[in-house]
Amino acid sequence: MLDYAALSALAAVVREGSFERAAQALHVTPSAVSQRIRQLEERVGSALVVRGQPCRPTDTGRRLCQHVDRVRVLEQELQGTLPALAPQGLTRVPLPVAVNADSLATWFTPALAAYAAEAPVLVEVAVDDQDHTAGWLRSGAVLAAVTGSARPATGCNSRPLGAMRYLAAASPAFVARHFAGGVGAGSLAQAPSLVFNTKDDLQARWVQRLCHRHVELPRHTLPSSQAFVTAAVAGMGWGLQPLSLVAEHLRAGTLVELVPGTALDVPLHWQHARAASAWLDGLSRAVLAAAGRALLPV
């Protein structure tokens, strides 16, 4: 039988980032937290936490944290059907999910907010590129994710959500300055582009499809969907913009497409752990419904 007090201490350290903050959250001393985790490590036979700022779980620690999250969700559901088991007062369980920034900035957040307003959960959102959020599932760091991968992670189900449409856009002044002679490999190699982070390959994929070869792009890095749009409107660079975020700018003429008719559609999928939980099922229904309204059919 697993020691759930020790597992809760492990999850708290990973969630809070330090033994001291975990102790405050659990209303115990840091030494008690350290002792519980040390005993759990001795039983498992491997390290579970990498001490640092912040503390990080090992692979085994992540799997145990995922197990704790699943158990909490299941217990919360059981308490809803058997009120006598519920503690005094409303308790909320952590529900960690991962999502790409553009979905979070557009269709995903309203669905998540509506769900969280009714369900007794505390949602913990991790943001990553859609091609990397599945890794959060595989590591056990989250229970569900919006991902670009259709292949389900181990122990997970995968459902298609639809496609998010992106347009290569920039301000009219930027286009006039950098692409007066047309948009091609030569001009793209000189004009500053915008990328979300080092994992963001949308611009490179669009250029590869347009030019049929790799082009090394000069780039600004802006890890914010809203800042991405603002920077493009201000003439800082060109980038692949979600149509839903820039439709008004395109109508107003503050942004223009670099090459009309070259939209890039990115399929998205919803993956979640196969825990038999009504709370996860409810979140899945909310996400699938919102995606059906906001995304393009694949």
Report yes or no on 285 lying in a domain: no
- Write the burial class of residue 151 (CB in 10 Å: 0-12 exposed, 13-18 middle, 19+ buried): exposed
**Has residue 76 been placed in a domain?**
no
Is the pLDDT confidence value at 221 over 80? yes
pLDDT at 219: 97
Please give the Cα distance from 196 to 200 (Å, whole number).
6
Classify residue 157: in a domain, yes or no.
no
Domain boundary among 20, 40, 68: 68
Distance, CA of 14 to CA of 136 (rounded, Å): 14
Instruction: Assess if residue 234 is contained within a domain.
Output: yes
Quick: pLDDT tens for 60-103. Answer: 888 888 777 777 766 666 666 655 555 555 567 778 899 999 99
Other C-beta atoms closer than 10 Å to the C-beta of 126 total 13
Number of domains observed in the structure of the chain:
2
pLDDT, position 84: 57
Q: Which domain holds residue 59?
A: 1-68
What average pLDDT does this structure show over 191-213? Answer: 96
Identify the CATH number of the domain in which residue 243 sits.
3.40.190.10
What pLDDT does 275 receive? 65
Q: Output the domain CATH number for residue 47.
A: 1.10.10.10
Tell whether 151 is covered by a domain: no
Separation between Cα atoms, residue 112 and residue 258, nearest integer Å:
34
Q: Is residue 118 part of a domain?
A: no
Indicate whether 106 belongs to any domain: no
Q: Does a structural domain hold residue 5?
A: yes
Q: What is the pTM assigned to this prediction?
A: 0.79
**HSE of 203, CA atoms in CB hemisphere, 13 A:** 29
